[in-house]
Amino acid sequence: MSEESARPSTPARAADFFLFGAVALSVYLLDQAAKAWVLHTLPLYSQKAVISGFFNLVHVRNTGVAFSLFAGSDSPWRLPVLVALTLFALVVVFFLYRESRPVEKVKRVALSLIAGGAAGNLTDRLRFGHVVDFLDFYFGSHHWPAFNAADTAVTVGAVLLLWSLLRAEKAPGVRP
């Protein structure tokens, strides 16, 4: 059987995207709801101790990317480049999902998490010109850079994607 004939029909392929849509939309909505709560509850640059000595809710702006990289840049190209890179990443994630097989469930969930997280942060960039971060973990004076639910989904998705690739999910009876 050829690779092309092994592909499900169009209605079956459309059903394959239910998982993608459900996970990505859930991540997106959770992220946006959490950020809305932060925006309406915590004044900018404030913090609320949740677990003293370990975890605060904060309200900060991140004009950069992961770990605030490029946040100090005042280039007029920063925002358009970050938006374009995110859109490109979303296209790549969608393509990888489309090319994955239904048996590659971990890979599909991973890609869906990445898409939902990327869309959440993209929405912030388009609305505000920055991303709202609110999760602050620390030990003593050592703080992990503040992050948000979208960042968490992207990170978990990337780890799961790497794991699925290393594990090389295979269809039953298929050898590498």
Instruction: Kindly list the catalytic residues.
Output: 133, 151
Give the 3-state secondary structure of residue 51.
strand
User: In whole angstroms, what is the distance from residue 148 CA to residue 158 CA?
Assistant: 15
CB distance 99 to 8 below 8 Å: no
CB distance 119 to 35 below 8 Å: no
Interior/surface letters 94-116, b for 16+ CB within 10 angstroms, e for the rest: eebbeebbeebeebbbbbbbbbb
